[in-house]
Structure 1
Amino acid sequence: MHYKKLRERMVRDQFIARGITDQRVLAAFYKVEREKFVPSEVRNNAYQDFPLSIGEGQTISQPYMVALMTQSLELKGDEKILEIGTGSGYQTAILAELARKVYSVERMRALAERARKLLEKLGYSNVKILLGDGTLGWEESSPYDRILVTAGAKEIPQPLVDQLEEGGVMVIPVGNSYSQDL
């Protein structure tokens, strides 16, 4: 499998063609190897534009949504980010390419441990992962310049609002199970 070509096609056909224009964001997606963040049985679909199962009843988000949410953060490079929902660690790696420090909260122990090991193996030294309830954020390390929530919520959790730096940016899908807005 020629993953590099598939990654290039993903960026060109799924991102650039649909309005992802931030060159730093595009460069991060060219660099981070999504196939390393999915189970071997779905690796051939790593660059398809749909979510994939990563175990524990969870999925890795479709690539375009990861790119759209990342671009929406308007990262310059010196930010401290709180990510809610580490999952496979793919979004975490993208953020680590683009920001100074990434704090990520995951509620599923197996996913948190797997992501932590993989991110360490890949050399990401600017990432910390906490096993916990994402709706509570990570108060000890707050405030954050940016907060990215990777799972939908009916409303924005107040602890996350409280942990956002004044003038900061939060990206979170809000709504019910039928419709959500970023």
Structure 2
Amino acid sequence: MVDYATARMNMVESQLRTNKVTDQRVLEAFETIPRERFVPDHLRSLAYVDEDLRLKDDRYLVEPMVQARLMDVADIRAEDVVLVVGAGSGYACAILATIAATVVGLESDPELAKLAESALQEQGVDNAVVIQGEMNKGYPKQGPYDVILLNGAVAEVPKALTDQLSPKGGRLATVVRSDSGPGKGTVFERWEKAVGRRTLFDANTPVLPGFHKQPGFVF
């Protein structure tokens, strides 16, 4: 039988602390939230491995190190409102709910959205909600957001999402993947109408549906 508490602690010590995750609130959240409760039953024994876990079709639970580093560099504050694009099974929402004031999860897949809501309720998370909708359009109804986390990689970040960031230092964290080479953990920051970006680390994270590179015109 798997000792999940020990596996969780080992994940934090060997995957997160050794990979430049330094925000103590992020580390404590990963130590506390039971990752095994956010995967299908047949994957629970693998919940703490350092790789992406396939939830269904082309949807994955992002590996712990990548999720934690993106949360770390997003500099989330206790009063922040956070949007998670690609809520998946709800794990990232549960982690962020221990750090931020309000978390909105956006999920396009109805089965995953239902799974996420059920898992959050089971864990007693009362400051996070999962909304079903098109992920690349965001959820402007609850914006602007202090932080947007894209829970997967993207070929490029849609303007619709950066427009939903707070114009006073809103941050968006994701992995940006081109056609070749590794993806790059990247943070975008908005000040008024200007959006800057910082590239921080390599990550081969799967691309979220709806965020692949759009084909150009061929003449």
TM-score, length of structure 1 as denominator length? 0.96
Residue in 2 that maps onto 1:180: 183
- The structure with the greater share of residues assigned to strand is 2
Per-residue Cα deviation, 1:74-99 (whole angstroms, up to 9, x for no partner): 11211000110011111111111110
SS in 2 for 1:4: helix
Alpha carbons 1:20, 1:68 under 8 Å: kept: yes
* Native 8 Å contact 1:106 1:134 kept in 2: yes
Task: Report % sequence identity.
Answer: 33
For this pair of structures, how many residues does the alignment match? Answer: 182
Shift of 1:177: 4.7
Evaluate the alpha carbon distance shift between residue 177 and residue 95 of structure 1 in structure 2; reply closer, same or farther with a 3 A threshold: farther
Quick one: distance in 1 between partners of 2:41 and 2:157?
35
1:78 has 2:93 as partner: no
- Structure 2, unaligned stretches of length 5 or more? 187-219
CA distance in 2, matches of 1:69, 1:134: 18
* 1:148 counterpart residue number: 149
Q: Which runs of 5+ in 1 are unaligned?
A: none
Distance 1:101 1:153 in 2: 24
Determine if contact 2:110/2:132 at 8 Å carries over to the other structure: yes
- 1: distance between equivalents of 2:16 and 2:153? 22
What letter is aligned with 1:143? P
Kept in 2, the 8 Å contact 1:108–1:131? The answer is yes
Alpha-carbon distance in 1 for matches of 2:179, 2:105: 24
Contact 1:56–1:111 (8 Å) recurs in 2:
no
Counterpart CA distance in 2 for 1:172 and 1:28 is: 19
TM-score after normalising by structure 2:
0.80
Structure 2 residue aligned with 1:163: 164
The CA RMSD measured in Å over matched residues stands at: 1.2
The CA deviation at 1:56 is: 4.0
| Structure 1 residue 149, shift from structure 2 partner | 0.7
In structure 2, distance between residues paired with 1:59 and 1:154: 17
Could you tell me how far apart the structure 2 residues matched to 1:112 and 1:40 are?
A: 17
Residues 175 and 53 (structure 1), Cα distance of their counterparts in 2 relative to 1, 3 Å cut: closer
What's the secondary structure of 2:154's corresponding residue?
A: coil
Structure with higher helix content: 1
Tell me, in whole angstroms, the C-alpha distance in 1 between the residues paired with 2:52 and 2:177: 19
In structure 2, distance between residues paired with 1:23 and 1:132 = 32
8 Å CA contact 1:81–1:144 kept in 2: the answer is yes
Contact 2:149 2:173 in 1 (8 A): yes
